[in-house]
C-alpha cells in the first residue's frame, strides 16, 4: 500500500461564525451538492478505496477550526472496522436475502418510537442500541449502498433533512458538540445489495472512558425512545 490519500475541506458558509444549521437552505444544499460532486470525482481515482465525509462541530468533537466546515477523506485502504460492518451486513443478507438497513427502516417505521422525522425519501431515527445519548442516523429509504448513488434532487432533500435535524440539536440541546459521518460502501462494493449508506450524528454530550476503551461496550444512560421523542416534538 502506498501512503497516498486525499483530504479536502468543504467550507460551509462565507460567514465566519455561521453555525451550519442556521445557514439558508440554499447554502446547506450547496454543501451537500459539493459532497456529491467531490465523491463522484474522487471515486474515479483508482488509488482510493473508500471515501469518508464528516464534520466535527465544537471543541469536544475535536474541531480544529472555528469557521463551519466539513471534510472529505479518501483512503487507500478499507479500514478493518468498516470491513467488519460490511461483513455483518453481508451475513444478514446471506441469511435473509434482504438488506439489514432496509429491514430496520421498515421495523422502525412500524415501531415509531425511535423515529425523529419521517420524510418521503429519508428517515431520521435513533438506533435501538444507540452508543451515546441522542445518537441519530439519517437513512435514505431507497436501497443505495453508496452515497455516490444519490441524485441531485435527493441531495437537496437530504440537505433539508440534515439541516432540520441539526437545527433541533442546536435549539433543543443548546448547540452541543457533535460529529457527523457519512458511512458508505467501499468504492468496489457500490453495487452491493447488502450495504446501505447513511449519515450518523454522534453528539458529544458524554465522554467515553476506560470501560469503553477496555471493552468496546458503550455505556448509554438514556433511552433512544425518550430522546427521539424529545427531538420529535416541535
**The dihedral of CA 147, 65, 61, 15: what is its sign?**
negative
To the nearest whole angstrom, how small is the minimum distance from the Cβ of residue 234 to a second copy?
Answer: 29
Q: What is the dihedral of CA 197, 89, 109, 173, to 10 degrees?
A: -60
Q: Which residues contact 169 (CB under 8 A, 6 or more apart)?
A: 21, 134, 136, 175, 176, 178, 201, 203, 231
Q: Of 193, 183, 146, whose CA–CA distance to 54 is shortest?
A: 183
To the nearest whole angstrom, how small is the minimum distance from the Cβ of residue 97 to a second copy?
Answer: 25
Binding residue for a second copy, selected from 31, 82, 138, 145, defined by CB under 8 A? 82
Nearer to a second copy, 14 or 216 (CB): 216
Piece in contact with a second copy (CB under 8 A), picked from 28-36, 56-64, 97-105, 118-126: 56-64
Largest CA distance in the chain: 50
How many DSSP H helices and E strands does the chain contain? Answer: 6, 8
CA atoms of 16 and 11, how far apart (whole Å): 10
Nearer to a second copy, 17 or 207 (CB): 207
To the nearest whole angstrom, how small is the minimum distance from the Cβ of residue 50 to a second copy?
Answer: 8
Going by the DSSP 8-state scheme, the letter that residue 20 receives in this structure is G
96 is catalytic: no
Q: Which residues contact 211 (CB under 8 A, 6 or more apart)?
A: 217, 219
Count interface residues toward a second copy (CB under 8 A). Answer: 35
- Asked if 191 contacts 145 with a C-beta cutoff of 8 angstroms, the reply is yes
Q: What is the pattern of x (binds a second copy, CB under 8 A) and - over residues 108-137?
A: ------------------------------
Piece in contact with a second copy (CB under 8 A), picked from 25-33, 49-57, 98-106, 148-156: 49-57
Nearer to a second copy, 78 or 109 (CB): 78
To the nearest whole angstrom, how small is the minimum distance from the Cβ of residue 7 to a second copy?
Answer: 9
**Contact between 90 and a second copy per CB under 8 A:** no
**Residue in 7, 57, 69, 183 annotated catalytic:** 69
- Among positions 173-232, residues that touch a second copy (CB under 8 A) are 179-183, 200, 202, 206-211, 213-217
- Whole-number Cα distances in Å, 147 to 57, 133, 174, 179, 230: 22, 26, 30, 18, 29
Q: For binding to a second copy (CB under 8 A), which residues are involved?
A: 50, 52, 54-56, 59-63, 71, 73, 75, 79-82, 179-183, 200, 202, 206-211, 213-217
Q: Which residues are catalytic?
A: 69
Amino acid at each position: 500500500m502506498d501512503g497516498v490519500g486525499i483530504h479536502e475541506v468543504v467550507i460551509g458558509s462565507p460567514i465566519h461564525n455561521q453555525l451550519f444549521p442556521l445557514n439558508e437552505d440554499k447554502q446547506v444544499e450547496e454543501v451537500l451538492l459539493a459532497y456529491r460532486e467531490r465523491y463522484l470525482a474522487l471515486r474515479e481515482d483508482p488509488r482510493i478505496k473508500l471515501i469518508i465525509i464528516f464534520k466535527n462541530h465544537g471543541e469536544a468533537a475535536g474541531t480544529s477550526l472555528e469557521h463551519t466546515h466539513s471534510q472529505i477523506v479518501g483512503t487507500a485502504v478499507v479500514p478493518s472496522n468498516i470491513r467488519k460492518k460490511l461483513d455483518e451486513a453481508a451475513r444478514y443478507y446471506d441469511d435473509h436475502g434482504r438488506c439489514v438497513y432496509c429491514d430496520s427502516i421498515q421495523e422502525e417505521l412500524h415501531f415509531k418510537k425511535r423515529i425523529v422525522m419521517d420524510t418521503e425519501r429519508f428517515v431520521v431515527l435513533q438506533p435501538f442500541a444507540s452508543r451515546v445519548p441522542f445518537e441519530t442516523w439519517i437513512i435514505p429509504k431507497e436501497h443505495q449502498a453508496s452515497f455516490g448513488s444519490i441524485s441531485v434532487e435527493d441531495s437537496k432533500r437530504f440537505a433539508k433533512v440534515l439541516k432540520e435535524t441539526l437545527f433541533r440539536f442546536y435549539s433543543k440541546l443548546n448547540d452541543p458538540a457533535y460529529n457527523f459521518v457519512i458511512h458508505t460502501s467501499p468504492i468496489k462494493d457500490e453495487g452491493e445489495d447488502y450495504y446501505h449508506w447513511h449519515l450518523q450524528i454522534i453528539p458529544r454530550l458524554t465522554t467515553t472512558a476506560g470501560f469503553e476503551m477496555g471493552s468496546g461496550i458503550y455505556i448509554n444512560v438514556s433511552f433512544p425512545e425518550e430522546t427521539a421523542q424529545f427531538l420529535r416534538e416541535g
